[in-house]
């Protein structure tokens, strides 16, 4: 493994990234190789991202009531999870959540909505007002995660101050029908392409631990590279009671770290953000996500599950001598 990593070192430090067969070698490596692998991933992260880390935060602005059947999601039409279900929040309530996120040290705030896509005019205007007030009242960058979205809506929201669009592809094209049958992979890829075509910064990644193979993980990593997304969120399954994937946790902390490292070595210059499932899947090893190549994480709560105390996360960042991108640590 050491010789292999030595051989690929120059191309990852040049920003080119590794080849699929090399990515497979990373994922198939044994636990004994973990620290050698993350040593290289850490060098790559430091070269392209320095000591800076991004803190994203989210609000679940519309919860549950979704027409889609994503197997991992507590908000889907096939889930009977015990979660809050509500239609779109008022813009003032979204702003209140953003203000709390800003105080806790986040630099980016994502307005997340359940559902196939943002189509209703009233909801689009509500989100537009929320974006304007967040931009006027906080220093946060604003993102939306609104499912399938068209160019006109993106442009309207961009004029209100929207900075980023988030839309996950979740997994590979081949594996996708195993986790969602109500919309096509093509629609998701098209949404990412549309978002890129508007000049927005685009955040797109996936969820791991849903039964996908190493090959599926690698296929996703290369598609994201091809689509030239700016930021790659990595979620690890947090199997929620009442969802089809309840009880199907199959990741170990070492596997999670190798997935992060593979994503960094395939996409050396992109932002890699560890999102849902960090605490439950990485446990005591979660501070190693940065050494494994991530340069950001979600702080605060997730969509339907609780994150850990934000002050613990900030202490972890201080202990690692990392710096938030906005220079502010709560
Ligand atoms: S992931 Fe999004 S689209 Fe899929 S079920 Fe959940 S809220 Fe709906």
Q: Ligand 1 in contact with 73 (CB < 6 A)?
A: yes
The whole-number average pLDDT for the span 311-328 is 87
- Determine the distance separating the centroid of ligand 1 and the alpha carbon of 117, expressed in angstroms: 10
The whole-number average pLDDT for the span 22-40 is 95
Model pTM? 0.95
* pLDDT at residue 49, as a whole number: 97
Break the chain into its structural domains and give their ranges. 18-321
- Determine the distance separating the centroid of ligand 1 and the alpha carbon of 326, expressed in angstroms: 31
Distance, in Å, from the CA atom of 29 to the CA atom of 16, rounded to the nearest integer, reads 22
- Determine the distance separating the centroid of ligand 1 and the alpha carbon of 76, expressed in angstroms: 6
| Mean pLDDT taken over the chain | 94
Distance, in Å, from the CA atom of 273 to the CA atom of 53, rounded to the nearest integer, reads 9
Predicted confidence band at 327 (pLDDT cuts at 50, 70, 90)?
low
Distance, in Å, from the CA atom of 153 to the CA atom of 144, rounded to the nearest integer, reads 11
**Best residue for ligand 1 mutational test, from 147, 182, 187 (most atoms within 8 Å of Cβ):** 147
pLDDT digits (tens, 9 = 90+) for 61-99: 999 989 999 999 999 999 999 999 999 999 999 999 999
Predicted confidence band at 322 (pLDDT cuts at 50, 70, 90)?
very high
Q: Ligand 1 in contact with 216 (CB < 6 A)?
A: no
Distance, in Å, from the CA atom of 94 to the CA atom of 138, rounded to the nearest integer, reads 12
Predicted confidence band at 307 (pLDDT cuts at 50, 70, 90)?
confident
Distance, in Å, from the CA atom of 267 to the CA atom of 15, rounded to the nearest integer, reads 8
Ligand 1 closest atom vs CA 114: 7
Q: Ligand 1 in contact with 75 (CB < 6 A)?
A: yes
Predicted confidence band at 132 (pLDDT cuts at 50, 70, 90)?
very high
Predicted confidence band at 249 (pLDDT cuts at 50, 70, 90)?
confident
Which string of DSSP letters, residue by residue, matches 197-219?
A: HTT-EEE--EEESSS--HHHHHH
CB 98 within 8 A of CB 124: no
- Determine the distance separating the centroid of ligand 1 and the alpha carbon of 181, expressed in angstroms: 11
- Using the predicted structure, report yes or no on whether residue 330 has a pLDDT greater than 60: no
The whole-number average pLDDT for the span 160-184 is 97
Predicted confidence band at 303 (pLDDT cuts at 50, 70, 90)?
confident
Ligand 1 closest atom vs CA 113: 7
Predicted confidence band at 282 (pLDDT cuts at 50, 70, 90)?
very high
The whole-number average pLDDT for the span 43-63 is 95
pLDDT digits (tens, 9 = 90+) for 196-222: 999 999 999 999 999 999 999 999 999
Half-sphere exposure of 71 (CA within 13 A, CB side): 21
| Burial grade of 284 (CB within 10 A; 0-12, 13-18, 19 or more) | exposed
Q: Ligand 1 in contact with 235 (CB < 6 A)?
A: no
- Determine the distance separating the centroid of ligand 1 and the alpha carbon of 296, expressed in angstroms: 23
Q: Ligand 1 in contact with 76 (CB < 6 A)?
A: yes
- Determine the distance separating the centroid of ligand 1 and the alpha carbon of 141, expressed in angstroms: 23
- Determine the distance separating the centroid of ligand 1 and the alpha carbon of 299, expressed in angstroms: 21
CATH number corresponding to 18-321: 3.20.20.70
- Using the predicted structure, report yes or no on whether residue 120 has a pLDDT greater than 70: yes
């Amino acid at each position: 493994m050491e010789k292999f990593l030595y051989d690929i070192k120059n191309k990852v430090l040049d920003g080119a990234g590794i080849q699929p067969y090399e990515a497979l070698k990373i994922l198939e490596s044994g636990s004994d190789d973990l620290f050698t692998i993350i040593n290289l991933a850490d060098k790559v992260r430091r070269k392209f991202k320095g000591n800076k880390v991004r803190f994203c935060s989210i609000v679940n602005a519309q919860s549950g009531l979704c027409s889609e059947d994503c197997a991992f999601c507590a908000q889907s039409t096939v889930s009977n999870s015990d979660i809050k279900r509500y239609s779109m929040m008022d813009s003032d309530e979204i702003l209140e959540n953003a203000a709390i996120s800003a105080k806790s040290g986040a630099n980016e705030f994502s307005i997340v909505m359940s559902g196939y896509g943002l189509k209703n005019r009233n909801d689009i205007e509500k989100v537009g007002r929320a974006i304007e007030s967040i931009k006027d009242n906080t220093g946060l960058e604003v993102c939306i995660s609104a499912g399938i979205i068209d160019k006109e809506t993106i442009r309207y929201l961009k004029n209100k101050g929207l900075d980023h669009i988030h839309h996950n592809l979740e997994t590979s094209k081949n594996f996708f029908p195993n986790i969602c049958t109500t919309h096509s992979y093509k629609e998701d890829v098209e949404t990412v392409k549309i978002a890129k075509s508007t000049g927005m910064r685009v955040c797109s990644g996936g969820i791991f631990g849903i039964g996908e193979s190493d090959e599926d993980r690698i296929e996703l990593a290369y598609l994201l590279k091809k689509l030239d997304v700016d930021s790659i969120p990595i979620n690890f399954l947090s199997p929620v009671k009442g969802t089809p994937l309840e009880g199907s946790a199959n990741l170990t902390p070492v596997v999670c770290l190798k997935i992060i490292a593979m994503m960094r070595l395939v996409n050396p210059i992109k932002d890699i953000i560890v999102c849902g499932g960090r605490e439950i899947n990485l446990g005591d090893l979660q501070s190693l996500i940065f050494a494994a190549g991530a340069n950001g994480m979600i702080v605060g709560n997730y969509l339907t599950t609780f994150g850990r105390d934000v002050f613990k996360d900030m202490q972890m960042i201080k202990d690692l001598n990392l710096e938030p991108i906005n220079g502010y640590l709560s």
